[in-house]
Chains A and B, each alone.
Chain A
């Protein structure tokens, strides 16, 4: 059996994965930006209006709608290729060592499939709770802002994060997302052949920073909601 599944070579599969992965990271920043508008609620006299308007924009703007399809496709491709590559990697060593690998390099790179699987579980739950709830089940209240009616996504989020279990689940998963990203961001550059004596150290530093900023940014929101209500 060869490593030629899906016709693409090993390197092509990894290149597609890394491009999609980088795209997913830009999405994570956009999503975080929108989420952070929720914090306005906790300023004196603040409301969830900005968040609701942003959520509405994300749900209706035509460019965003197109990118939504790209995004879902991206996740599917990333997961599919990740799985294929990982299964091939397991098959590449049918007999294991009695004393397993000594090398201590890059711990997070060894658990990409595991952190990835956790992110996937999170994604499913997250989509069911918010995205599908609003889009498919229509199981959501509405608010009127400046005479226009909007889905009250804000109220939905605030209600969800009243439960400590839910908050802990989210925060823990953001930590695992951080583990995934810590290796992922800089690895994508190496995969794309973008290695340089001057810039690679910077990219590696950036990878660490992203793997902290994104989880912390995301985790702040459920924590603030929980401890302010």
Chain B
């Protein structure tokens, strides 16, 4: 396959970037999208040019590192998949592929297609955990858990924190991510102990990072590689209202 690539190039966070056009030839339809970029980078290195920077790690759809906005869609032309798992056969031979970084004030570009997603880490640090005092290991089946709840928690926990929800949202809102992280704990007894503080702190941090506000458009759900559901956002709002109205006044 021969392709024309329009790729966002930006030296560092300070410089002004722009699109550059590249041509790649004889790409196997069975190559992955990132392998195609590897091939391009090999050529650039041979020519003595700077290779294109892009995040990636596991290349099997589980780590959430890869983050490319391809032809107007985060993670490219397929649904429920990360870009590292997309194969070149999903593209037409001879077509033009436009590759951009995630665009959000809260995700500043580090270089080329690589953005700084540490805002997500800070949201998790604000409360996306449970505090466990060490001691003897409790029996796994000691606490009864409703199977449906356990499944919902598991589905929410499938979020890999890639940021595609922010990238696709017309408001660059992080509500789907934050709500998945709130939900995976709020649904389980171990998580409920700190739930009231958690939701308030995580929402506060989310706002502080400068993400937009949710308008219930649903693009995030449609584009999420792990198919995280909008119901999580409703659950987070429910948790938030409950905490604001019902919990004692607390310093966040």
Contact = CB atoms under 8 A, between A and B. Distances in A.
A97 interface: yes
B168 A103 contact: yes
A208 B52 CA distance: 47
Contacts of A106: 216-218
Which of B105, B106, B204: most chain A CB closer than 10 A? Answer: B105
A14 B213 contact: yes
B195 interface: no
Contact of A112 (B8, B215, B235, B239): B215
Interface residues of B, number: 49
A101 B219 contact: yes
Interface string B48-77: 000000000000000000000101110000
Interface string B202-218: 01101111111111111
A69 B250 CA distance: 34
Interface in B152-203: 168, 170-173, 203
A10 B104 contact: no
Given A192-B237, A193-B241, A110 B170 contact: yes
Interface in A5-57: 9-15
Contacts of A162: none
Contacts of A85: 213, 215
B240 interface: yes
B72 A97 contact: yes
Given A98-B19, A99-B71, A187 B215 contact: yes
Interface residues of A, number: 40
A11 B218 contact: no
Interface in A79-118: 85, 88-89, 91-103, 105-106, 109-110, 112
Interface stretch (B86-94, B135-143, B226-234): B226-234
A102 B238 contact: no
Interface in A172-219: 183, 187, 190-195
A103 B219 contact: yes
A12 to B, nearest CB: 7
B172 A89 contact: yes
Contacts of A195: 230-231, 234-235
Given A10-B206, A102-B73, A92 B212 contact: yes
Contacts of A191: 214, 216, 237
B78 to A, nearest CB: 12
A137 interface: no
A185 B218 CA distance: 15
Given A11-B237, A93-B103, A103-B168, A183 B212 contact: no
A71 B221 CA distance: 35
Closest 8 CB pairs of A and B: A193-B238, A195-B234, A92-B212, A89-B171, A103-B219, A99-B72, A193-B237, A92-B172
